């Protein structure tokens, strides 16, 4: 009999074989073929990389015309184990030509960087990422796309917070400005009147729960942080208010950088990408560089590819099917897909009120893909999904 075994169960199967425990890390290194894509390598360099990978027992995919340099540059897909990549680094160490030192640096950074195991708020509250965390949505607005999330007074907001905490929320996300497709922003003073009292009330009633504030305005962020908020969740990726980055840096607050194409008013007017994953990844690189150069702590950045923000149905599905690629940034990853339009379309054009089951399916997918935070309207149901997925995942770690 011959059977393929799951990678997650390799250690358990090695124990059954009776292998020496000291050998486990060695075999685990050999067991994973890691696919890495390097963009825009000049063709002679791409050919060198391919030959070196072949010599190490791995391989590399290059453009069909790179071998005779009929194209100036080629993307390269590396196919190797961690051990083979470590050997490639040694081979490239002395290769001071064809841009190979830049490739070496990128590969070295990828292999050595680790995702932070937690973020810490200005007030000392920690969110750890040993499992997928649940962020409950509290919209102190009259016009958010899902009516069930609207809380139009403090009493409703406090009750929602209480229910979410009781049902297993790890974070509460408070928003006072609807960013649904086609929406016009309310004024800054109106957003402040909605958000800050809600943050103060929830913080007073529930001193330990981490609070995120969904805003792109610097003044709202500052007053919310002063009121006890912990995280700034910015749909604009620091694009809509030039002063927001200064506030985040000053307070050393965790920051969610989300990808958006356009503005909420126009983002869903025929959004187009030549390569949606690559373009979001390039956006993340540029926005993270800007944030860090402006004083934001790199270990405090959380990435959100922005489901539904300037993406059509196919774009959203591709993002969800390729979550592993966004994890290559070694940053905590947040997904907010709860009850969104693409779920309704996949289920036959259902309205937001009938998209719970589809949302739960996406939550399970995210948890299995190692997403760090899922942002949802329905905490109890999503908590149960996460608990089941975590129980199954733990079997492979036991």
Just list the catalytic residues: 340, 375
Phi/psi class of residue 243: alpha, beta or left (left: φ > 0; alpha: ψ in -120 to 50)? alpha
The answer to whether 107 and 89 have CB atoms below 8 angstroms apart is: yes
Kindly tell me the sign of the dihedral angle through the C-alpha atoms of 11, 14, 20, 26: negative
Angle, helix 276-293 to helix 313-321, in steps of 10 degrees: 70
Residue 142: half-sphere exposure toward Cβ, Cα within 13 Å? 3
Rounded distance, CA 81 to CA 29, Å?
7
The answer to whether 331 and 303 have CB atoms below 8 angstroms apart is: yes
Sheet containing strand 34-42, edge to edge, reads 34-42, 73-80, 59-61
Q: What helix, strand, coil percent values describe the chain, rounded to 5?
A: 45, 15, 35
Say which residue the tokens 């949606």 belong to: 276
Task: Determine the Cα angle at 286 with ends 284 and 287, to 5°.
Answer: 65
Report residue 159: phi and psi, to 5°.
-65, -40
The answer to whether 135 and 212 have CB atoms below 8 angstroms apart is: yes
Token digits of residue 149: 């999330």
SS (H, E, C) 5-23: CCHHHHHHHHHHHCCCHHH
Closest by CA position to 340, among listed 330, 327, 350, 332: 350
């Amino acid at each position: 009999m011959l059977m393929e075994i799951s990678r997650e169960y390799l250690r358990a199967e090695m124990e059954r074989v009776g292998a020496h425990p000291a050998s486990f890390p060695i075999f685990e290194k050999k067991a994973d073929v890691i696919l890495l894509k390097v963009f825009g390598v000049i063709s002679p360099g791409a050919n060198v990389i391919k030959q070196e990978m072949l010599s190490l027992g791995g391989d590399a995919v290059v453009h069909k015309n790179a071998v005779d340099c009929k194209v100036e540059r080629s993307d390269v897909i590396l196919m190797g184990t961690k051990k083979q990549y470590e050997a490639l680094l040694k081979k490239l160490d002395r290769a001071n030509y064809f841009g190979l030192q830049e490739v070496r640096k990128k590969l070295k950074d990828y292999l050595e960087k680790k995702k932070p195991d937690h973020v810490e708020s200005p007030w000392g509250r920690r969110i750890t990422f040993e499992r997928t965390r649940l962020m409950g949505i509290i919209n102190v607005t009259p016009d958010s796309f899902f009516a069930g999330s609207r809380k139009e007074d403090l009493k409703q907001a406090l009750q929602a917070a209480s229910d979410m905490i009781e049902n297993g929320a790890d974070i509460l996300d408070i928003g006072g400005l609807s960013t649904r497709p086609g929406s016009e922003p309310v004024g800054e003073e109106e957003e402040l009147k909605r958000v800050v009292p809600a943050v103060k009330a929830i913080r007073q009633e529930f001193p330990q729960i981490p609070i995120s504030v969904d805003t792109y305005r610097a003044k709202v962020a500052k007053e919310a942080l002063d009121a006890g908020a912990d995280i700034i969740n910015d749909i604009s990726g620091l694009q809509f208010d030039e002063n927001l980055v200064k506030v985040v840096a000053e307070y050393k607050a965790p920051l969610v950088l989300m990808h958006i194409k356009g503005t909420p008013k126009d983002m869903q007017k025929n959004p187009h990408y030549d390569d949606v994953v690559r373009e979001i990844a390039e956006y993340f690189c540029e926005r993270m560089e800007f944030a860090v150069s402006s004083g934001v702590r790199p270990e405090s950045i959380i990435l959100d590819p922005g489901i539904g923000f300037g993406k059509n149905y196919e774009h959203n599905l591709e993002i969800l099917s390729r979550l592993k690629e966004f994890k290559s940034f070694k940053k905590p990853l947040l997904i907010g897909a709860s009850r969104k339009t693409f779920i309704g379309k996949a289920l036959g054009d259902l309205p937001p009120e009938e998209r719970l089951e589809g949302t739960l399916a996406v939550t399970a997918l995210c948890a299995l893909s190692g997403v760090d935070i899922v942002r949802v309207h329905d905490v109890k149901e999503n908590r149960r999904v996460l608990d089941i997925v975590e129980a199954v995942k733990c079997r492979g770690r036991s």
